[in-house]
């Protein structure tokens, strides 16, 4: 397969370079030939076309590494969405690799989809299954030996890592130590129920691979308290309380640039600790109306998922019981400080990756990931820094940087092709495109990923999206028929 005339964004931080011809043989990049500045390009400069070759004429198109979503749930019975719906939305947005946190559909289920994806029997990204800590165990771990036995078991079954929420310190230590010995990764949502005993610094010292979201980070920088200043009627199970007070947490932590702030930042960086913030999944907290009325809901949100997002005492992340202006203002301030830490962390050499956590809180698969790019740019990242976080740095965490994460000879052909320049405007990566005024004074939508190449196989994003729209329309018809 020859990609002709593309502008290459390599994902490692280099600026765009091209035009270039790119040769893919089987599923690997075997040549990248820069064609120089001369126009038109002479045939002698191009990669020669041999009998049996396939050629894609892509003059002026942008070529990027496949995107890596480091927090990508498949959904399931709770959300009422199919694996096909989710996977095709990921691929149509250029996501070629996912880290599946928790494997809440069951490890066997995720491993089966991983195998089928590896064999290219289904249209789905490359899958790295992580298992929720203790999944399949009868009750919490009581001994360190039981903990180690479980870690060895899931590693043998094929788990790529473990997702933690919290446990006693000796159990956490044993699990992380054994995970290191077994060569599997680790990630943690530092839940409020255990964060006072085990925050981000404890995780990093014990060998944790990455933290998810941001819980546990402000707590590690408390100067004037040990426990968050909860209202006296607070109940963690009440998600209005849980998320409402979470939006007031960064304001209770150390000031940016203070000794505690700098010390935690530098210590985490010295331990090669990764932050996977998933800013996008909390965005409804600072602007609920925006997320409820996003452009893509009409065509791409099935009725079961739409219902799951509604205010509820049962559905996780549906905490809009009485969401006020004060709650949104608190979250806007929360984002401001959180973003400042992320940018500071990156500027001092820390690794920040991209994850979406879509399927909750009004976030749709694929769309939420592109929004995460925009939010990191809002935090102060240059677009090339954003793309590096979305590709090469994620590959590092997965220990796959020699195979994926950048456009280099010898690497797997996981690639994204767009007609528009995503560095100038990440909105052109949404499958709904970028809304703008055309030369004829009429509004138009431009952009959307044109092709996603995964493991050397070319997927037409528009064909994938047609399948997704069919799934949604059939679900809506079935929903209407049952009413």
For 295-312, how does the pLDDT look when each residue is reduced to its tens digit (9 = 90+)? 999 999 999 999 999 999
Give which of 137, 200, 138 is closest to 166, Cα–Cα: 200
Predicted local distance difference test score (pLDDT) of residue 481: 74
- DSSP percent split of the chain into helix, strand, coil, nearest 5: 40, 20, 45
Predicted local distance difference test score (pLDDT) of residue 345: 98
Q: Kindly state the percentage of the chain with pLDDT values over 90.
A: 93
- Structural contact between residues 69 and 90, judged by C-beta atoms closer than 8 angstroms: yes
> Comparing 44 with 216, which gets the higher pLDDT?
216
| Beta-strand runs (E) in 126-236 | 126-132, 161-164, 185-188, 210-212
Does 267 have pLDDT greater than 70? yes
For the residues 422-440, what does the mean pLDDT come to? 96
* Mode of pairing for the β-strands spanning 62-65 and 415-418: antiparallel
CA angle, 201 then 206 then 210, to 5°: 65
- pLDDT per position as a tens digit, 414-426: 999 999 999 999 9
| CA-based max dimension of the chain | 76
- What is the pLDDT confidence band of residue 91, given thresholds at 50, 70 and 90? very high
- pLDDT per position as a tens digit, 11-21: 999 999 999 99
Does 150 have pLDDT greater than 80? yes
For the residues 130-148, what does the mean pLDDT come to? 93
- pLDDT per position as a tens digit, 209-233: 999 999 999 999 999 999 999 999 9
What's the token pair of residue 255?
Answer: 């000031």
Is the preceding peptide bond at 405 cis, omega within 30 degrees of 0? no
For the residues 74-92, what does the mean pLDDT come to? 90
Predicted local distance difference test score (pLDDT) of residue 37: 76
Candidate from 55-64, 74-83, 210-219, 227-236 with smallest mean pLDDT: 74-83
Predicted local distance difference test score (pLDDT) of residue 38: 60
DSSP letters of 33-84? EE--S-SSPPGGGSPPPPTT--EEE-TT-EEEEPEEESS-----TTTT--HH
Predicted local distance difference test score (pLDDT) of residue 36: 84
Which pTM was predicted? 0.96
Predicted local distance difference test score (pLDDT) of residue 92: 98
Q: Calculate Rg over the CA atoms of the chain.
A: 23
Predicted local distance difference test score (pLDDT) of residue 138: 85
For the residues 333-358, what does the mean pLDDT come to? 98
**Distance of alpha carbon 387 from alpha carbon 126, whole angstroms:** 19
Using the Cα atoms of residue 132, residue 137, residue 140 and residue 144 in order, give the sign of their dihedral. negative
**Distance of alpha carbon 131 from alpha carbon 138, whole angstroms:** 15
- Structural contact between residues 117 and 127, judged by C-beta atoms closer than 8 angstroms: yes
Strand partners for 20? 6, 34
DSSP letters of 235-251? -TTSHHHHHHHHTTSGG
**Distance of alpha carbon 32 from alpha carbon 448, whole angstroms:** 25
Predicted local distance difference test score (pLDDT) of residue 337: 98
Which positions ≥6 away from 112 have C-beta within 8 Å? none
Give which of 373, 364, 387 is closest to 465, Cα–Cα: 364
**Which run of H or of E encompasses 146?**
helix 144-157
Which of helix, strand or coil describes residue 177?
helix
- pLDDT per position as a tens digit, 151-170: 999 999 999 999 999 999 99
Give which of 107, 106, 105, 113 is closest to 75, Cα–Cα: 105
Does 40 have pLDDT greater than 80? no
Predicted local distance difference test score (pLDDT) of residue 378: 98
């Amino acid at each position: 397969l020859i990609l002709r005339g593309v502008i290459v964004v390599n994902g490692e931080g280099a600026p765009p370079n091209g035009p270039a011809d790119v040769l893919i043989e089987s599923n690997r990049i075997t040549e990248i030939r820069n064609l120089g500045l001369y126009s038109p390009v002479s045939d002698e400069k191009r990669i020669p076309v041999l009998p049996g070759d396939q050629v894609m004429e892509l003059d002026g198109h942008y070529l990027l590494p496949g995107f890596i979503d480091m927090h990508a749930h498949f959904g399931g019975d709770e959300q009422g969405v199919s694996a096909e719906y989710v996977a095709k939305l990921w691929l149509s947005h250029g996501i070629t690799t996912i880290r599946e946190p928790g494997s809440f559909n069951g490890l066997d289920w995720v491993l089966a989809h991983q195998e089928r994806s590896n064999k290219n029997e289904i249209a789905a990204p490359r899958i790295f299954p992580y298992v929720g800590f203790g999944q399949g165990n009868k009750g919490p771990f009581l001994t360190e030996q039981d903990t180690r036995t479980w870690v060895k078991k899931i590693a043998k079954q094929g788990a790529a890592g473990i997702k933690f929420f919290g446990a006693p310190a000796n159990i956490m230590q044993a699990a992380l130590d054994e995970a290191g010995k077994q060569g599997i990764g680790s990630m943690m949502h530092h839940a409020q129920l255990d964060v006072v005993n085990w925050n981000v610094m404890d995780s990093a010292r014990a060998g944790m691979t990455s933290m998810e979201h941001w819980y546990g980070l402000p707590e590690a920088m408390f100067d004037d308290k040990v426990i968050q200043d909860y209202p006296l009627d607070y109940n963690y199970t009440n998600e209005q309380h849980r998320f409402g007070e979470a939006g007031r947490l960064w304001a209770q932590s150390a000031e940016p640039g203070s000794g505690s702030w700098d010390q935690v930042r530098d210590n985490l960086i010295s331990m090669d600790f990764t932050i996977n913030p998933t800013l996008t999944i909390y965005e409804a907290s600072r602007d609920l109306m925006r997320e409820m009325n996003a452009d893509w809901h009409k065509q791409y949100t099935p009725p079961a998922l739409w219902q799951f997002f509604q205010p509820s005492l049962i559905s996780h992340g549906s905490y809009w019981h009485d969401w006020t202006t004060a709650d949104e203002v608190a979250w806007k301030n929360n984002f401001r400080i959180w973003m400042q830490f992320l940018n500071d962390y990156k500027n001092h050499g820390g690794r920040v990756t991209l994850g979406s956590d879509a399927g909750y809180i009004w976030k749709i698969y694929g769309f939420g990931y592109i929004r995460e790019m925009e939010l990191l740019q809002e935090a102060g990242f240059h677009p090339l820094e954003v793309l590096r976080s979305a590709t090469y740095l994620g590959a590092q965490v997965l220990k796959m940087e020699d195979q994926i994460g950048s456009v280099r000879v010898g690497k797997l052909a996981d690639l994204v092709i767009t007609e528009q320049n995503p560095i100038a405007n990440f909105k052109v990566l949404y499958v709904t495109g970028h809304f703008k005024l055309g030369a004829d004074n009429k509004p138009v939508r431009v952009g959307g990923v044109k092709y996603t190449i995964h493991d050397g196989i070319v997927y037409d994003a528009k064909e994938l999206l047609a399948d997704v729209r069919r799934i949604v329309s059939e679900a809506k018809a079935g929903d209407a028929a049952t009413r």
